[in-house]
Amino acid sequence: MQVVHGKSGWLEIICGPMFSGKSEELIKRIRRAQIARRRVQIFKHGIDARYDESSIVSHSQQSLPGMAVTHAQDILDQVDDRTELVAIDEGQFFDQDLLPVVIKLANLGKRVIVAGLDLDYRGVPFGPMPALLCSAEFVTKQLAICMVCGDPANFTQRLTPATDQIVVGAAETYEARCRRHFEPPVED
């Protein structure tokens, strides 16, 4: 990704399927900002208690402490005036209010990074992510490895018959699949 210097804020999105390294990439960018002594605040959606309610954690066990919130507005309420980087993980779980919130933060001159699934288990755009992708200055699309053939994987295959859009889980519930091996659920 390009490095931006200047006083205006901006929005970065890191998207892709589960296991594509979104959290790892987010953690890497945060760590670099911390090395540069930027003031950072880290948020994740409170629904994902996969490992730890208040940290962002990758499938490779890297983690950084953060704050769990359920509404996008909570982020605005919590962000300190002096904060320079606002990092948000699991962006897909927020409602459409996430877009005006991150626009407001970027307009205040802050660097905002949102990581999230762009597609749900059906292969359908997930929550506020499409709108965020259109508004972002920088978009990083990551791919995982297909667990059937080893090709690059853009899809998240749910391994259980549940039909709720949100079912929190990791390797026991989901795996990454390429276009050839992704099997979307059959609609009734």
Site for ligand ADP in 48-77 (CB under 6 A): 58-60
CB of 114 to ligand ADP, least distance (A): 12
CA-to-CA dists, residue 172 to 82, 132, 157, 159, 179, angstroms: 41, 29, 11, 8, 21
Q: Is 96 in the site for ligand ADP (CB under 6 A)?
A: no
Q: Is 21 in the site for ligand ADP (CB under 6 A)?
A: yes
Residue from 24, 90, 175, 183 carrying the catalytic annotation:
90
Taking CB under 6 A as the criterion, the residue among 11, 12, 13, 22 binding ligand ADP is 22
The answer to whether the CB of 168 falls within 8 A of the CB of 53 is no
What is d(CA 31, CA 34) in angstroms, rounded to the nearest whole number? 5
Of 113 and 144, which has the nearer Cβ to ligand ADP?
Answer: 144
Site string for ligand ADP, 97-136 (x = CB under 6 A): ----------------------------------------
Q: Is 88 in the site for ligand ADP (CB under 6 A)?
A: no
Candidates 38, 43, 91; CA nearest to 66 is 43
The reply to whether 12 belongs to the active site is: no
CB of 49 to ligand ADP, least distance (A): 15
Site string for ligand ADP, 168-187 (x = CB under 6 A): --------x-----------
What is d(CA 64, CA 158) in angstroms, rounded to the nearest whole number? 27
Of 24 and 97, which has the nearer Cβ to ligand ADP?
Answer: 24
Tokens of 25: 């990439």
CB of 121 to ligand ADP, least distance (A): 13
Q: Is 144 in the site for ligand ADP (CB under 6 A)?
A: yes
Alpha helix (H) residue ranges in the chain: 22-35, 72-78, 98-107, 129-135
What is d(CA 95, CA 126) in angstroms, rounded to the nearest whole number? 10
CA-to-CA dists, residue 119 to 57, 129, 170, angstroms: 20, 9, 16
The answer to whether the CB of 154 falls within 8 A of the CB of 146 is no
Q: List contacts with ligand ADP (CB under 6 A).
A: 16, 18-24, 58-60, 144-145, 147, 176
